[in-house]
Amino acid sequence: MARVYNFSAGPAMLPEEVLKRAAAEMLDYHGSGQSVMEMSHRSAVFQGIIDQAEQDIRDLMGIPDNYEVLFLQGGASQQFAMIPMNIMKHRKAAYIITGNWAKKAWQEAQRYGDAVAVASSADQTFSYIPDCSDLPIPEDADYVYICQNNTIYGTTYHKLPNTKGHVLVSDVSSCFLSEPVRVEDYGIIYGGVQKNVGPAGMVISIIRKDLIPEEPAVENTPTMLRFKTHADAHSLYNTPPCWTIYVCGLVFQWLKEMGGLSVMKERNEKKAKLLYDFLDQSSLFHGTVRPQDRSLMNVPFVTGDKEMDAAFVAEAERNGLVNIKGHRSVGGMRASIYNAMPYEGVAKLVEFMDRFEKEHR
């Protein structure tokens, strides 16, 4: 069967070059006579894999030396607790609620202190990013928290909030490595890798070293949930997700070969423009996000008719365009067009949408 164009929000498609290389090295990684899935995480061979992966992501993002790069299990959702447990020392933090994941993080943080919602776009089904130029951030807040790109709702911050001097913590799961970032603008920037970086099973957390406490903010924080545990052990305190680290490393190398994050941004802007331009002129389909807040990665759209939406999703799948059904909270469709989605995939989607519209006028 020919490969389909997979518009899943995550786990999502990976670059074919990466999959082919992983397949070629499956039984024998670099003459070791074993698969990465079989080798000891304490071996010199695997140490080389994790060291190279860390160096490559540092190169790609321009990560300064005063930041740790941690490869952690538990996914982005575990960070919802791990962050306040480690750094909410004054038991107060500010959260900007722009979707389900920011809301879940805010709710989890309330277990450990006063998590204050300083802005929200819930009033319009999270279809926009609120004004973050002058937020009522408590002076004693330990950090300001955002979900930078909202996978479900298709919004993104094109300008970071004014944190008024407070530490910025950002979940970048669905825009990770899609464009250049200035790491110094963040205290912690983290993301689950299964959307735009690699296979499911890991979160990469980039943490400014002065935010890694000798003792966590919350007393009796479990050993495995302490930043210091993993920083001191260089992500090898226990058996890490070895295969995921390896494949992410291959993706990092692919990104470098493609020209880096500036090139990826250009590619992603071109893909997104093709789809948004069609939506803006369509008489059947329309986007659900305020134009100035549109994501380059996740594009939700609807027809306004649930039966029509269902027919579109079914027919799209028959045409090799899969996992395009929207999240239940938005309905309709959603095209996730991460780094690995080629321009040709988006072009085929737009061509199909145009044909579908003409047939259903």
pLDDT in tens, 137-161: 999 999 999 999 999 999 999 999 9
| Residue positions annotated with a catalytic role | 101, 171, 195
Q: What phi, psi does 143 have (nearest 5°)? A: -165, 165
Pick the CATH number of 23-258 from 3.40.640.10, 3.40.250.10, 3.40.50.1370, 1.20.120.420: 3.40.640.10
User: From the centroid of its chain, how far is CA 145?
Assistant: 15
Average pLDDT over residues 31-46: 95
pLDDT at 192 over 70: yes
Please tell me the predicted confidence (pLDDT) of residue 2. 82
Burial class of 258 by CB neighbour count within 10 A (0 to 12, 13 to 18, 19+)? middle
Q: What is the pLDDT of residues 17-27, one digit of tens each?
A: 999 999 999 99
Q: What is the pLDDT of residues 166-187, one digit of tens each?
A: 999 999 999 999 999 999 999 9
Could you tell me the CATH superfamily of domain 259-359?
Aspartate Aminotransferase, domain 1 (3.90.1150.10)
Q: What share of the chain is helix, strand, coil (3-state, %, to 5)?
A: 40, 15, 45
Please tell me the predicted confidence (pLDDT) of residue 313. 97
Provide CB contacts within 8 A for 204, sequence distance 6+.
57, 69, 70, 71, 72, 176, 190, 191, 193, 197, 248
Please tell me the predicted confidence (pLDDT) of residue 350. 98
Mean pLDDT of the chain: 97
For residue 294, give the DSSP letter.
Answer: B
Cβ–Cβ < 8 Å for 84, 112: yes
**20, 22, 198, 225, 254 from 248: Cα distances, Å:** 14, 11, 5, 23, 10
Q: Which of 275, 199, 209 is nearest to 243 (CA)?
A: 199
pLDDT more than 90, % of the chain: 98
Q: What is the pLDDT of residues 238-280, one digit of tens each?
A: 999 999 999 999 999 999 999 999 999 999 999 999 999 999 9
pLDDT at 87 over 70: yes
Please tell me the predicted confidence (pLDDT) of residue 328. 86
Structural domain spans, the chain: 23-258, 259-359
Q: What is the pLDDT of residues 323-347, one digit of tens each?
A: 999 998 888 999 999 999 999 999 9
Cβ–Cβ < 8 Å for 298, 334: yes
pLDDT at 1 over 70: no
